[in-house]
Structure 1
Amino acid sequence: MAPATQFEVAQPPKDAISSLAFAPGAEKRRLLVSSWDRNVYLYEIANGAEEANLLGAFEHRAPVLDVCFGSSPDEAFTAGLDRQVKRIDLSTGEQTVMSRHSEAVRCVVYSAEHSLLISASWDSTLHVHNTANPSQPPMTIQLPGKPHAVAASPTKVVVAMTARLVHIYDLPTLASALSSSSQPAQPPQTWQQRESSLKFLTRAVACMPNDAGYATSSIEGRVAVEWFEDSAESQARKYAFKCHRQAAPEEEGGGDVVYPVNALAFHPVYGTFASGGGDGTVALWDAEAKRRMRQYQKFPDSVAALAFSLDGKYLAIGVCPGFETGMEDYSGEGRTKLFIRELGETEAKGKGSK
């Protein structure tokens, strides 16, 4: 069995990391990193070597809040404080504006199965783009709250908002609405509307690769696991648990110091998931067995973002100072770090995994 190894990337972003995304397809192990330094970075993990080479940086007008790959390792989409959704041709560096929101764009996700790009903005709207027809204007969906996290499964997209609101949309229905010759008079209705199982603000959402459900995390050191199926039996399976907490010293009154759970990522092969928190740790969880499989060594700062490669062999970990002490005099320069962990063959394998 190949042992696990971990290395630090030599040329990380200069400010806080906002998101990480591995490329589709395993032939090119490319990694996109978006940053508050107004750049998107493209790395490639060298075969057989403990290093990731920086292939290029793509500057934006404002901090970039999210990034994802498109249909190939040469296509990326970004969302940022400049209120724009952009497509980047990674081979030429050309940037094209896909749409403009009236406020900052917080999230962007791509569905390869349906050729849909979905952007979520703090103007409380979703823009749904048909990437198979770039000239077609995006469909706008009004949201009842400001979105904070979005994730897509093969058939669903989950939008977590303020006031503990969670809306789930059906991707085939959205694709069908966009494929009609004219824009629909009314955008499709939500597939499901839920209230978050967590009592505090949602920080991250990740969908199960088997299309069965999703996990959410909050600023208050908790993770919830839920299933899409709306039957009483399925809903009875949902659960939440405490994590990313540390015992406070007795001289400070004891109890727990609670940290935000900033990042979630499901393993694409085994369906287990990783969580990253403000306590500087990453943990691996078995969603079915409801247990923690392992916790890795503490990183020097808050874990801001996580991503598994498509083959599940690599876990990218973005580390930078958190905002727990406020924004005054904040600087991620020199403290922002990017780690790549090469997992052992069964490292992420859960109890019930085949």
Structure 2
Amino acid sequence: MSGLFGSGSSTTTQQASNTTGDISKDVTLNSPPEDGISEITFSPQSEHLAVSSWDKKVRIYEINQQGGSEGKALFEHEGPVLSCCWSKVSHTLTTSYPQSLMLSKDGTKVVGAGADKAARMLDLQNPGTPAQQVAAHEKEIRCARFVDVPGQQTPVLVTGSWDKTMKYWDLRQPNPVASITCQERVYTMDSKDKMLVIGTADRYVNIINLDKPGEFYKTMQSPLKWQTRVISCFTDATGFAVGSIEGRCAIQYCEEKDASSNFSFKCHRQTPPNQSNVSNVYSVNAISFHPQHGTFSTAGSDGTFHFWDKDAKHRLKGYPEVGGTISSTAFSRTGDIFAYAVSYDWSKGYQANTPQLPNKVMLHAVQADEAKPRPKVGKR
């Protein structure tokens, strides 16, 4: 009987090689940032990649089908940029919304947020117009996302800060339309459909139903025991994945009826040669869900990335070390390209950030068998 990666009669060696991915043909992004890369994210409507960096810049690249890349635009902050995101438009927008302010469905606006306590937006449709400040906090802004608020006739930007607040912004107004105080500093945030999930210091996780954006739908502690690094929402918006500094990932559903499906697993850990009782533990820095298949990737301080099937609780592919820590990852809108940033992740403090460390973004062409979920099998 044929398995996912070939014949069921394969030898153990062949099976191992089938689950080991190939990065030898991955392509380097042209003209990468000059300092640490904080976040990379693809446009939801085109083959463009935004990259935010500690060199105070957000860069936008165009990616062609052969993996070639070209810088198309950039804008600057007054401090390191910690997050970037693409605009999207609410399904409830009406024709009465001013055309000059509408955030186009083709993802033509990019927001950066960072250590200058500001979020700034560049309109790629008006290349001569400089980036405009669209949000402000009392402390550094750690993350920014556009969300779909039902009934709201304007696109809404959400920013999460180390001042322990998250704020909603109507981009036509200088002040936030709403603000929520979290238990601790905001470290990570993601949104899908009506679900917004925020991870803070002290392992708090807040879930918001955007039907009621001004209140927490549910608050919980992370199922993992150590500091949260990243949260990423499932493609079907029924839950989210959490990654922590302890080399673990947790799969968490929002509703109690699905709680039996919650689980966590070890990843990004290494056993040194001839030391079977020792395990080196690495931070899980990035989790990205495939837009078509619903499978997901993890990437970490060990310099590896892996593709997983959460429903089958199975690793689909593991990839060799890439020559440096991986700080951020992203799938393209079709899932055909997986981008990963090879860049220092600050896991060892500022002393370990040397000029010799790599700063680059790699583009991996996702093959047909790499990210597809395992075939469903009947009960035994």
Counterpart of 1:162? 201
One-letter identity of the residue aligned with 1:308: F
Normalising by the residue count of structure 2, what TM-score does the alignment of the two structures yield?
A: 0.83
User: Does structure 2 retain, via aligned residues, the 8 Å contact 1:33–1:67?
Assistant: yes
Structure with higher Rg: it is: 2
- Residue 324 of structure 1 deviates from its aligned partner by 3.6
**Residue in structure 2 matching 1:63, options 80, 84, 88:** 80
SS in structure 1 at match of 2:291: coil
Cα distance in 2 between the residues matched to 1:112 and 1:277: 30
User: Does structure 2 retain, via aligned residues, the 8 Å contact 1:272–1:285?
Assistant: yes
Q: 1:136 to 1:61 in 2, by over 3 A?
A: closer
Superposition RMSD in Å = 2.0
Cα distance in 2 between the residues matched to 1:334 and 1:11: 16
**Residue in structure 2 matching 1:150, options 183, 186, 189:** 189
Q: 1:197 to 1:96 in 2, by over 3 A?
A: same
Cα distance in 2 between the residues matched to 1:120 and 1:295: 32
SS in structure 2 at match of 1:288: coil
Counterpart of 1:241? 265
User: Does structure 2 retain, via aligned residues, the 8 Å contact 1:301–1:322?
Assistant: no
Q: Does 1:86 align with 2:120?
A: yes
User: Does structure 2 retain, via aligned residues, the 8 Å contact 1:15–1:331?
Assistant: no
Cα distance in 1 between the residues matched to 2:296 and 2:234: 9
User: Does structure 2 retain, via aligned residues, the 8 Å contact 1:14–1:334?
Assistant: no
The superposition leaves residues 315-338 of structure 1 with CA deviations (integer Å, 9 ceiling, x where unpaired) of 110011343432126235761011
Counterpart of 1:73? 107
Counterpart of 1:183? none
The superposition leaves residues 123-142 of structure 1 with CA deviations (integer Å, 9 ceiling, x where unpaired) of 000011234x4466331111
Cα distance in 1 between the residues matched to 2:355 and 2:236: 36
Matches within 5 A, 1:79-118: 79-91=113-125, 92=127, 93-112=129-148, 114=150, 115-118=155-158
User: Does structure 2 retain, via aligned residues, the 8 Å contact 1:248–1:254?
Assistant: no
Cα distance in 1 between the residues matched to 2:348 and 2:116: 26
- Residue 64 of structure 1 deviates from its aligned partner by 0.2
Contiguous gaps of at least 5 residues in structure 1 = 175-187
Q: 1:333 to 1:80 in 2, by over 3 A?
A: farther
Q: Does 1:262 align with 2:285?
A: yes
One-letter identity of the residue aligned with 1:196: S
**Residue in structure 1 matching 2:63, options 13, 31, 45:** 45
Cα distance in 1 between the residues matched to 2:284 and 2:48: 26
User: Does structure 1 retain, via aligned residues, the 8 Å contact 2:135–2:174?
Assistant: no
Structure 1 runs (4+) deviating above 6 angstroms are: none
Q: 1:267 to 1:192 in 2, by over 3 A?
A: same
The superposition leaves residues 77-118 of structure 1 with CA deviations (integer Å, 9 ceiling, x where unpaired) of 111000012221124252111121000000001125652211
